[in-house]
Amino acid sequence: MSIIVAENLSKFYPVAIKEPGIKGAITYFFRRTYHEIKAVEDVSFEIAPGEIVGFLGPNGAGKTTTLKMLTGLIHPSRGEVKVAGQVPFRRQEAFLQKITLVMGQKQQLIWDLPALDSLKINAAVYNISNKEFQRRVGELTEMLNLEGKLAQPVRKLSLGERMKAELLAALLHRPQVLFLDEPTLGLDVNAQAGVRDFLRDYNQRYQATVLLTSHYMADITALCQRVLLIHQGKLMYDGSLDGLLERFAPYREIHVELAQYIPTAKLITYGDVQLLEGRTVRFLVPQKALTRTVSQILADLEVIDLKVTEPPVEEVIGRVFQAGVV
């Protein structure tokens, strides 16, 4: 039984057309014409309870619009969507108790008050008893390493601490479904790792379902076994991260350390030379030619070390979006 179901989910926006000049301004004022912007078009997928799914796409691809439809902030133009058995845009209490939305560039905590005061407001909104409030705050504070921080005004917290406090506030009512839009945006490497560790632990402890968007591929590779790719409003891929690499990266990288420097002109016969720094070379070769190329390199060159890797997932996804093909 899927906890999130989207069928042909679409969102279109009418945009008024204005021609230049006085005539255009008069026409725009009295008799406007419109063209339709398709922010999301016929997106369908299902997510099972407890899954952590990465939602990827370039800026303007339709990720945030889709999240807003899934959380009921905007009404879809067509299609159907159900989250935890509820229709999101009806915004019923039973639905709101089961979901949360965290956006890395937005905040719900009151800037000049201690985070604990905002948490008490959230507890009142969700009818959480004082005893249960204390228990949940203590548990989440420990998981997020926020001991001693909640009594400080939010403005005095570091960016990483504020993000963790935002997560605590969003999870206080213990939702079944987490919609996370760039939760590590702007954080340093250590803070990003801390948020990832927390999300992994929270998912395992409460079997919460997570739909995560992020431009930091480390978030996706660390947390998500399944990814959705959206481009120009259309779903391009739905499957495993490994399957994505197999499908869109039919090549491998060969990293070689040579005994002596060899110029690029003599190396290009073995593959596309991506990097040459001193005696270190990185080739890009088609997967079907991998065995033959490795054998040829070992036979022809004096090699100190050689390893074969997949190209970085960021590079693979970037090529997908650049090509714009499935």
- The answer to whether residues 273 and 229 belong to one domain is no
* Domain presence at residue 282: yes
Tally Cβ neighbours within 10 Å of residue 115: 26
Cα gap 320→326, rounded to integer Å = 8
Yes or no: say if 226 and 241 are a contact pair by the CB < 8 Å rule.
yes
- The answer to whether residues 286 and 148 belong to one domain is no
* Domain presence at residue 324: no
Give the range among 83-97, 119-133, 143-157, 244-258 with minimum mean pLDDT.
244-258
For 283, the token pair is 């080739």
CA angle centred on 287, ends 286 and 293, rounded to 5°: 75
**Averaged pLDDT for residues 177-204:** 90
- The answer to whether residues 127 and 197 belong to one domain is yes
* Domain presence at residue 322: no
Residue 319 has pLDDT above 70, yes or no: no
How many residues are given for the chain? 326
Q: Which domain holds residue 223?
A: 44-245
- The answer to whether residues 223 and 100 belong to one domain is yes
The domain spanning residue 193 has which CATH number? 3.40.50.300
Residue 46 has pLDDT above 60, yes or no: yes
- The answer to whether residues 204 and 303 belong to one domain is no
**Averaged pLDDT for residues 208-236:** 90
- The answer to whether residues 269 and 157 belong to one domain is no
- Residue finishing a domain among 213, 245, 277: 245
- The answer to whether residues 171 and 229 belong to one domain is yes
**Averaged pLDDT for residues 196-204:** 94
* Domain presence at residue 35: no
How far is Cα of residue 255 from the mean position of the Cα atoms in its chain? Answer: 29
* Domain presence at residue 94: yes
The domain spanning residue 289 has which CATH number? 3.30.70
- The answer to whether residues 218 and 264 belong to one domain is no
**Residue-level pLDDT at 143:** 92
Angstrom distances, CA of residue 84 to CA of 54, 127, 239, 321: 19, 20, 22, 31
- Residue finishing a domain among 189, 219, 245: 245
Torsion of CA 55, 7, 81, 236, to 10 degrees: 10
Q: Compute the radius of gyration of the chain from its Cα atoms.
A: 25
* Domain presence at residue 14: no
- The answer to whether residues 163 and 222 belong to one domain is yes
Write the pLDDT tens digit of every residue in 255-284: 999 999 999 999 999 988 988 999 999 998
**Residue-level pLDDT at 326:** 47
Three-state DSSP state, 314: helix
- Residue finishing a domain among 194, 225, 245: 245
Q: Of 135, 121, 212, whose CA–CA distance to 174 is shortest? A: 135
How would residue 323 be classed by pLDDT, with cut points 50, 70 and 90? Answer: low
Residue 223 has pLDDT above 70, yes or no: yes
Three-state DSSP state, 152: coil
How would residue 324 be classed by pLDDT, with cut points 50, 70 and 90? Answer: low
Write the pLDDT tens digit of every residue in 54-112: 998 888 889 999 999 999 999 999 999 999 999 999 999 999 999 999 987 788 899 99
- The answer to whether residues 290 and 152 belong to one domain is no
Angstrom distances, CA of residue 314 to CA of 62, 96, 98, 111, 178: 19, 34, 33, 35, 24
**Residue-level pLDDT at 314:** 67
**Residue-level pLDDT at 97:** 94
* Domain presence at residue 2: no
Give the range among 20-34, 126-140, 190-204 with minimum mean pLDDT.
20-34
Q: How many domains does the chain have?
A: 2
- The answer to whether residues 139 and 198 belong to one domain is yes
How would residue 23 be classed by pLDDT, with cut points 50, 70 and 90? Answer: confident
Cα gap 281→283, rounded to integer Å = 7
pTM given for the model: 0.79
- The answer to whether residues 115 and 135 belong to one domain is yes
Paired residues of 54 in beta bridges: 212, 227
* Domain presence at residue 11: no
Cα gap 62→40, rounded to integer Å = 6
For 106, the token pair is 């937005």
